[in-house]
A = this chain, B = another copy of it.
Amino acid sequence: MSKDFSELFPNQNKRQKDFQCSIGFTMTVIGSKWRAIILWHVLQSQLIRYGQLKKSIPKISHKVLSQELRNLEMDGLIERIAYATIPPKVEYIPTPRGKSLEKILQELCVWGKKYFK
């Protein structure tokens, strides 16, 4: 694993380090149960608060949503903006790297629609 790589995806240090092909790598970034869906919602709204995200994805648990938002942030796909107010307010926006996945997520969505229901 190159230095560049580790810097781009610090989160990857915890994950599988050798891939058959780069599809395997991409899958570690968006291939979990919720990560693609969360990123998709962030991309759709451009800027979204935690609570709104939770409402948009009601079946995800509080813990997992927080957790995956951290992962997406650590992989540089979204940016977290926290306001030091009471009550707290946190917003998420996509980064350029996150936006670079928009087309793919769009296609995953279209493909799914075609065959689901």
Copies of this chain present in the complex amount to 2
| Contact B26 A108, beta carbon cutoff 8 Å | yes
| Contact A21 B5, beta carbon cutoff 8 Å | no
Q: How far is the CA of A9 from the CA of B116 in the complex (A)?
A: 9
- Which one, B24, B31, B59, B111, contacts A18 given CB within 8 A? B59
Determine the main DSSP class of A at the interface with B: helix
Q: How far is the CA of A8 from the CA of B115 in the complex (A)?
A: 8
Can you list 27 pairs linking A and B with CB atoms under 8 Å apart?
A5-B115, A5-B116, A5-B117, A18-B59, A20-B57, A20-B59, A21-B37, A21-B112, A22-B109, A22-B111, A23-B37, A23-B108, A23-B112, A24-B33, A24-B36, A24-B112, A25-B112, A25-B116, A26-B108, A26-B116, A27-B36, A31-B33, A100-B111, A100-B114, A101-B111, A104-B107, A104-B111
